[in-house]
Chains A and B, each alone.
Chain A
């Protein structure tokens, strides 16, 4: 390509044709900026991608550096997994919703737990008051988990569980349910989120301080390598970092910095990179800026491949392959004119698919108002199905690859995110940067800037700061029965009376002994779960041994 000639032509276009037009009609804004506060140019040409070396930077799908996708045939072979995050109320109600979703053509499960479960409290704990069954299903013990998966063959579905601080306990319950179904743990497929660093930084459901939390995580890596080879042991999550206000660049940077910290912890615990790294998975947000998001996914894949290969000297290319789940951006949903959210979700879902996601959750239109109703969830799932079966975007791999703008953006995101990672390395790594509040304050600054842009109408949110109309709020919002908390407490009380208390005490003592030493915590946790020790009891043993984390409050 003759770059010199293109440069000359571009200059003459700018100084001739464009200038004349601008004299007659100005552009809509003086500066066009994307969500990461980067200038968007009028036009991108081969000059913007001059430095791209196809084989080095893009390559082929399924091969290093995986920029264009992690599988050789991508969606031509198999579509992404359509996985709607769901769960509310009791195990019985959630079990019904899962069966409904599977009947509607969903291909994987994604379990939402209520906050007491996520923070390791039983439903009758004082802090659980008012929260039982609200944002997810309440699970107090193996007995609830048995109901949750009743009639769902665990060797046939893959299950993702959004659980972090008590990830080991919920995974142990899943293993125990599978055992009762006669399913060997080696057949189990799914994911636990298990990403504590982003809990400290952005999501808030932490229990223990960083050090013992990292031990729990590396114990899970070690346990699963041997016993659950098909399980994704962690889902390193940018989703919540973005929801908390981060830009696309920050989302990639902070997520990968956390990923680096997990690898370092696992290496320090004596694990081999090529044994655990292939089971690491990721979770990203799909926001409104369609093209920036597509570039973000591509940049993240390439960066991770390079980091794992160059920094950690992995040899197995599966270790370098970034597989990720995507969820559309909850924070973009508006309570005003909620049907407009269907369109937002469509654009965001399209970004995820064009970006090569492995699985996808599409949000429901009514989520700025309440938990989604069944009707809204169905529309959200249909949105994915329309993209998959009607739009044609799944028929060729990385269809936007080679676009001057996309490739330029991919490079820019990689470069800017690497600068952040360098800065975090200088601070001593992600756990240290979080401890110092650096990551939280960067996220908060972006959130505050975003809100001020909305206030000043520099950023338009349709139906909120422009094009407002009075519309009636939708009816039929899902409401969690307030009586449920009492019923769940009664169920728990009955379980405590019925179970073999001596067996519970023995198993909790074994857990305490392991916690004091250095053995793998999963082993006694699985035993404790099987004795019907409650989640709160198990977590309390570790609270006593490990202490509790106190969050830093920065704004």
Chain B
């Protein structure tokens, strides 16, 4: 019988932003969708997030930031993951970010960005379809 591997996700809050309603709701929804979810808690540096991703051997890193620091922090996480050989990890992001920042973030290795109004189902499906 074929077994499907359980998808492991790290939900992370880089930087100093304390808005974690969205991160926790998504963490909960991913868990309800059958994934294994680790939530870092607040105020994680990019280094701490990359470290946690490695230790937990995750397939997906979901970054949440509502403070406007995404352009500085998300690429840093992507770069560190790459440096430690985690090229195959699916990195996604969410929060308050203007459309014009999204191409920049994609270019830096964030697979996609989910802004306010995105449904939980959409995110669950996206992960299932895109995880490597």
Q: Indicate if the CB atoms of B19 and A204 lie closer than 8 Å.
A: yes
Q: Indicate if the CB atoms of B16 and A127 lie closer than 8 Å.
A: yes
Interface string of A337-351 (1 = CB under 8 A from B): 000000000000000
Q: Indicate if the CB atoms of A335 and B42 lie closer than 8 Å.
A: no
Of B42, B69, B115, which contacts A134 at CB under 8 A? B69
Q: Is B91 an interface residue (CB 8 A)?
A: no
Q: Indicate if the CB atoms of A368 and B116 lie closer than 8 Å.
A: yes
Q: Given A116-B16, A335-B116, A130 and B21 touching (CB < 8 A)?
A: no
Lowest 5 A-B CB distances belong to which pairs? A204-B18, A130-B72, A115-B16, A130-B69, A553-B41
Q: Which of A126, A135, A465 has the most CB of B within 10 A?
A: A135
In the complex, which residues of chain A have a beta carbon less than 8 angstroms from the beta carbon of B45?
A: 126-127
Q: Indicate if the CB atoms of A119 and B16 lie closer than 8 Å.
A: yes
| B45 nearest in chain A by CB position | A127
Q: Is B40 an interface residue (CB 8 A)?
A: yes
Q: Is B85 an interface residue (CB 8 A)?
A: no
Q: Indicate if the CB atoms of A204 and B42 lie closer than 8 Å.
A: yes
Q: Indicate if the CB atoms of B98 and A369 lie closer than 8 Å.
A: yes
21 contacts between A and B (CB under 8 A): A126-B45, A127-B16, A129-B72, A131-B17, A131-B67, A131-B69, A204-B43, A243-B19, A243-B21, A368-B117, A371-B68, A448-B25, A448-B28, A451-B120, A454-B119, A455-B120, A551-B41, A553-B39, A553-B42, A555-B25, A555-B28
Interface string of B92-111 (1 = CB under 8 A from A): 00001011000000000000
**Separation of A441 and B58 alpha carbons in the complex (Å):** 25
- Which residues 526-555 in A have Cβ within 8 Å of B in the complex? 551-555
* Closest-CB distance, B72 to chain A (whole angstroms): 3
In the complex, which residues of chain A have a beta carbon less than 8 angstroms from the beta carbon of B71?
A: 130, 482
Q: Indicate if the CB atoms of B67 and A115 lie closer than 8 Å.
A: yes
Q: Is B27 an interface residue (CB 8 A)?
A: yes
In the complex, which residues of chain A have a beta carbon less than 8 angstroms from the beta carbon of B121?
A: 455
Q: Indicate if the CB atoms of B17 and A115 lie closer than 8 Å.
A: yes
Q: Indicate if the CB atoms of A369 and B96 lie closer than 8 Å.
A: yes
Q: Indicate if the CB atoms of A447 and B17 lie closer than 8 Å.
A: no
Q: Indicate if the CB atoms of A130 and B73 lie closer than 8 Å.
A: yes
User: Hey, which bits of chain A sit against chain B, CB under 8 A?
Assistant: 115-116, 118-119, 121, 126-131, 134-135, 199, 203-205, 243-245, 331, 333-336, 367-371, 444, 447-448, 451-452, 454-455, 461, 464-465, 473, 477, 479-480, 482, 551-555
| B117 nearest in chain A by CB position | A464
Q: Which of A116, A134, A368, A482 has the most CB of B within 10 A?
A: A134
Q: Which of A126, A127, A448, A482 has the most CB of B within 10 A?
A: A448
* Closest-CB distance, A94 to chain B (whole angstroms): 15
In the complex, which residues of chain A have a beta carbon less than 8 angstroms from the beta carbon of B39?
A: 553, 555
Interface string of B26-56 (1 = CB under 8 A from A): 0111000000000111110100000000000
**Separation of A102 and B45 alpha carbons in the complex (Å):** 38
In the complex, which residues of chain B have a beta carbon less than 8 angstroms from the beta carbon of A119?
A: 16, 43
Extra contacts besides A205-B16, A334-B117, A553-B39 (7): CB < 8 Å: A131-B16, A131-B69, A335-B115, A370-B98, A448-B24, A464-B117, A473-B99
Interface string of B7-19 (1 = CB under 8 A from A): 0000000011111
In the complex, which residues of chain B have a beta carbon less than 8 angstroms from the beta carbon of A333?
A: 116
Q: Is B20 an interface residue (CB 8 A)?
A: yes
* Closest-CB distance, B125 to chain A (whole angstroms): 12
Q: Indicate if the CB atoms of B67 and A553 lie closer than 8 Å.
A: no
In the complex, which residues of chain A have a beta carbon less than 8 angstroms from the beta carbon of B42?
A: 204, 551, 553
Q: Indicate if the CB atoms of B21 and A134 lie closer than 8 Å.
A: no
| B38 nearest in chain A by CB position | A553
| A485 nearest in chain B by CB position | B72
Q: Indicate if the CB atoms of A555 and B16 lie closer than 8 Å.
A: no
* Closest-CB distance, A471 to chain B (whole angstroms): 12
* Closest-CB distance, B56 to chain A (whole angstroms): 14
In the complex, which residues of chain A have a beta carbon less than 8 angstroms from the beta carbon of B68?
A: 131, 134-135, 370-371, 480
**Separation of A452 and B28 alpha carbons in the complex (Å):** 11
Q: Which of B21, B69, B73, B96 has the most CB of A within 10 A?
A: B21
In the complex, which residues of chain B have a beta carbon less than 8 angstroms from the beta carbon of A555?
A: 24-25, 27-28, 39
Question: Could you say which interface size class chain B belongs to?
Answer: 20 to 34
| B115 nearest in chain A by CB position | A335
Q: Indicate if the CB atoms of A370 and B96 lie closer than 8 Å.
A: yes
* Closest-CB distance, A302 to chain B (whole angstroms): 29
**Separation of A431 and B42 alpha carbons in the complex (Å):** 19
* Closest-CB distance, B51 to chain A (whole angstroms): 15
Q: Indicate if the CB atoms of B20 and A204 lie closer than 8 Å.
A: yes
* Closest-CB distance, B71 to chain A (whole angstroms): 7
**Separation of A448 and B115 alpha carbons in the complex (Å):** 17
**Separation of A509 and B20 alpha carbons in the complex (Å):** 37
**Separation of A429 and B16 alpha carbons in the complex (Å):** 28
In the complex, which residues of chain B have a beta carbon less than 8 angstroms from the beta carbon of A454?
A: 119
**Separation of A333 and B117 alpha carbons in the complex (Å):** 10
Interface string of B58-86 (1 = CB under 8 A from A): 00000000011101110000000000000
In the complex, which residues of chain B have a beta carbon less than 8 angstroms from the beta carbon of A204?
A: 17-20, 42-43
Of A134, A477, A479, which contacts B67 at CB under 8 A? A134
| B17 nearest in chain A by CB position | A115
Q: Indicate if the CB atoms of B25 and A451 lie closer than 8 Å.
A: yes
Q: Indicate if the CB atoms of B116 and A244 lie closer than 8 Å.
A: no
In the complex, which residues of chain B have a beta carbon less than 8 angstroms from the beta carbon of A480?
A: 68
* Closest-CB distance, B43 to chain A (whole angstroms): 7
Q: Indicate if the CB atoms of A331 and B20 lie closer than 8 Å.
A: no
Q: Given A119-B16, A135-B68, A244-B21, A455 and B119 touching (CB < 8 A)?
A: yes
**Separation of A538 and B71 alpha carbons in the complex (Å):** 30
In the complex, which residues of chain A have a beta carbon less than 8 angstroms from the beta carbon of B69?
A: 115, 130-131, 134
| A461 nearest in chain B by CB position | B117
| A449 nearest in chain B by CB position | B25
| A479 nearest in chain B by CB position | B98
In the complex, which residues of chain B have a beta carbon less than 8 angstroms from the beta carbon of A552?
A: 41
In the complex, which residues of chain A have a beta carbon less than 8 angstroms from the beta carbon of B72?
A: 129-131, 482
